[in-house]
C-alpha cells in the first residue's frame, strides 16, 4: 500500500473498540484494503469512522457515506451471542496470524466452535464438488492423517471434496488437530442444505468461520472472497480433483499470491475432474499422494520462510495536517493522470512528485468516494461515474 508504515503494538483495548471495528467493516462501500489503509493512517477504528464523511467529500462523493450505526453493530453482536458464536476483530490476540498478514485481511470474522483451532497449523484441502468416489476417499484419508498429526484441515464445506475433508478430520477425533469450514454466507446460514449434520458437527467439534454478517445468503460474488480466506489461513493448499475452471483453482491462485505452498493430487488424464489438478502439477505445484508427503513438503509444520507481519500503523504524529494540505495540492494532478486503464501506484508517485503518504491519502479519498478501482499488482484506475 502507498502509505508509509511503521511497526507498533496495537492491542485490542475494550469491547467499544471491537464494536468500532465492526461498524467500519459493515459500513457501505468500504472494502478490507480501504479499511487497512484507514487504520494505518488514523490508528484506531473510532478515528477512521469520524474521518469517513470528510474524506469521501474531499474525494468528490456527492452522497453521504453509509456508516454502520452503533445500534446496528450492537444488534449483530447480540445475534452472534444467541447463535453461540462470537466476533474476532483484526487487532484481537486470537485473530489468526497468517490471515492478518494479508493486505486484504477481513477486518472482522465471526467464529463458532473450537476457536483454539485458529492458533494451530492449518492446511487447506479443496477440490471438485462432483468428486469421484476415489477422490473423496483420498481427501478423507488425507484429512484424517493431517488431523492426527496435529494439523487443522481448512475447507469450504462445499459438496464433494470439501465435505469429505471435513468428515475425515472430524472422524479422526484428534485432540490437537481438527477442521475449519470457511463459509461464503453468514455463520448461521446452511449451504449446501444436505450438509446439515456436518454443519452442526463443525459448530461444536470443529470451527465455522464467516466474514459476512449473520443472515447473509451466499451469492456468487461471495465465494472468491471465501476462497482467499481458506488459503490465507493455511500454510499450504492441497487440491484433490478440480476441473480446469473451478473455484479450487481460484483458491490455488490466491495461495500463490499469498506466498503459500500449492500441492495437488494427480488424477487420470481421461477424467475432466482431474485436469485442473494435473495442470497445477504441470505448472509447478508439488505432487502429493498422501498426508505424509504433505508434511514432508512442509518439513513438518516448521515454515521459517513464511513470515507474518506485525500490526501496522501509519506514523501520523506531526504529519497529518501537512499530508492533508499536500493532498489538496496534488489531487487534481492525480485525477488527470488516472483513467480507465490501470496504472502503477509507484508511477503516480513519480509523476506527481509527491510522497507515498500524500498520494495514499488522495487515493483513499477517491476510493471512499466510489471513484477508484484497485487492481492486483498495486495498480489503480479511475471509475468514471462518481458515487
The pLDDT-based confidence of 300 (bands split at 50, 70, 90) is: low
The pLDDT-based confidence of 315 (bands split at 50, 70, 90) is: very low
Q: Is residue 187 part of a domain?
A: yes
- Region for residue 60 given its phi and psi (left: phi exceeds 0; alpha: psi -120 to 50; beta: otherwise): left
- Bridge-based pairing of strands 343-344 and 379-382 is antiparallel
Cβ burial 328-357 (10 Å sphere, 16+ → b, else e): eebbeebeeebeeebbebeebbeebebbbb
- Say if residue 330's pLDDT is above 80: yes
Q: Is residue 351 part of a domain?
A: yes
Which pLDDT score, from 0 to 100, does residue 127 have? 97
- Say if residue 24's pLDDT is above 70: yes
Vertex 126, ends 210 and 197: CA angle to 5°? Answer: 60
- In this structure, are residues 15 and 29 in contact, taking their beta carbons and an 8 Å threshold? no
Please state, as a whole number, how many other Cβ atoms lie within 10 Å of the Cβ of residue 305: 8
- Say if residue 217's pLDDT is above 80: yes
Q: Is residue 47 part of a domain?
A: no
Q: Grid coordinates standing for 218?
A: 451466499
- In this structure, are residues 169 and 206 in contact, taking their beta carbons and an 8 Å threshold? yes
Structural domain boundaries enclosing 337 = 321-382
Per the structure, how many domains does the chain have?
A: 2
Please state, as a whole number, how many other Cβ atoms lie within 10 Å of the Cβ of residue 171: 15
Question: Cα(136)–Cα(297) distance, rounded to whole angstroms?
Answer: 22
pLDDT in tens, 57-70: 988 888 888 999 99
Please state, as a whole number, how many other Cβ atoms lie within 10 Å of the Cβ of residue 74: 14
- Say if residue 77's pLDDT is above 50: yes
Which CATH number goes with the domain that contains 377? Answer: 1.10.10.10
- Say if residue 6's pLDDT is above 90: no
- Say if residue 4's pLDDT is above 50: no
pLDDT in tens, 118-166: 999 999 999 999 999 999 999 999 999 999 999 999 999 999 999 999 9
**In terms of domains, do 182 and 255 share one?**
yes
- Say if residue 55's pLDDT is above 50: yes
- Compute the mean pLDDT over every residue in the chain, rounded to the nearest whole number: 88
The pLDDT-based confidence of 323 (bands split at 50, 70, 90) is: low
Task: Tell me which of 53-62, 107-116, 260-269 is least confident.
Answer: 53-62
Which CATH number goes with the domain that contains 178? Answer: 3.40.50.450
pLDDT in tens, 265-291: 999 999 999 999 999 999 999 999 999
Q: Is residue 232 part of a domain?
A: yes
- Bridge-based pairing of strands 122-127 and 152-155 is parallel
Which pLDDT score, from 0 to 100, does residue 160 have? 97
pLDDT in tens, 339-386: 999 999 999 999 988 888 888 888 999 999 989 988 877 889 998 764
Which pLDDT score, from 0 to 100, does residue 129 have? 95
**In terms of domains, do 212 and 354 share one?**
no
Which pLDDT score, from 0 to 100, does residue 8 have? 33
Q: Is residue 30 part of a domain?
A: no
Amino acid at each position: 500500500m502507498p502509505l508509509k508504515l511503521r511497526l507498533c503494538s496495537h492491542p485490542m483495548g475494550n469491547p467499544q473498540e471491537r464494536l468500532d471495528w465492526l461498524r467500519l467493516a459493515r459500513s457501505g462501500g468500504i472494502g478490507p484494503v480501504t479499511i487497512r489503509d484507514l487504520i494505518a493512517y488514523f490508528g484506531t477504528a473510532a478515528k477512521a469512522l469520524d474521518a469517513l464523511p470528510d474524506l469521501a467529500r474531499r474525494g468528490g462523493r456527492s452522497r453521504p457515506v453509509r456508516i454502520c450505526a452503533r445500534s446496528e453493530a450492537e444488534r449483530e453482536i447480540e445475534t452472534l451471542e444467541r447463535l453461540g458464536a462470537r466476533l474476532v476483530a483484526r487487532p484481537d490476540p486470537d485473530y489468526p496470524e497468517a490471515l492478518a498478514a494479508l493486505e486484504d485481511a477481513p477486518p472482522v470474522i465471526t467464529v463458532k466452535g473450537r476457536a483454539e483451532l485458529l492458533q494451530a497449523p492449518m492446511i487447506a484441502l479443496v477440490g471438485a464438488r462432483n468428486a469421484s468416489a476415489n477422490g473423496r476417499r483420498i481427501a478423507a484419508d488425507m484429512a484424517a492423517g493431517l488431523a492426527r498429526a496435529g494439523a487443522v484441515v481448512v475447507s469450504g464445506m462445499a459438496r464433494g471434496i470439501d465435505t469429505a475433508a471435513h468428515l475425515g478430520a472430524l472422524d479422526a477425533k484428534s485432540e490437537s488437530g481438527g477442521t475449519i469450514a470457511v463459509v461464503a454466507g453468514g455463520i448461521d446460514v446452511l449451504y449446501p442444505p444436505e450438509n446439515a449434520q456436518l454443519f452442526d458437527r463443525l459448530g461444536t467439534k470443529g470451527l465455522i468461520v464467516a466474514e459476512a454478517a449473520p443472515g447473509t445468503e451466499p451469492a456468487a460474488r461471495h465465494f472468491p472472497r471465501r476462497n482467499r480466506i481458506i488459503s490465507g489461513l493455511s500454510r499450504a493448499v492441497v487440491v484433490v480433483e478440480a476441473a480446469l475452471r473451478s473455484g479450487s483453482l481460484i483458491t490455488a491462485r490466491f495461495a500463490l499470491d499469498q506466498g503459500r505452498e500449492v500441492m495437488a493430487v494427480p488424477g487420470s488424464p481421461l477424467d475432466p475432474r482431474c485436469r485442473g489438478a494435473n495442470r497445477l502439477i504441470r505448472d509447478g505445484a508439488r505432487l502429493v499422494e498422501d498426508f505424509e508427503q504433505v508434511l514432508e513438503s512442509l518439513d513438518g509444520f516448521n515454515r521459517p520462510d513464511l513470515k507474518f507481519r506485525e500490526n501496522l500503523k501509519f506514523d501520523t504524529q506531526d504529519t497529518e495536517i501537512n499530508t492533508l494540505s499536500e493532498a489538496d495540492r496534488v489531487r487534481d494532478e492525480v485525477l488527470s493522470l488516472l483513467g480507465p486503464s490501470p496504472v502503477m501506484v509507484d508511477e503516480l508517485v513519480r509523476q506527481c512528485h509527491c510522497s507515498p503518504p500524500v498520494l495514499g491519502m488522495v487515493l483513499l479519498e477517491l476510493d471512499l468516494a466510489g471513484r477508484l478501482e484497485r487492481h492486483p499488482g498495486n495498480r489503480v484506475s479511475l471509475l468514471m461515474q462518481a458515487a
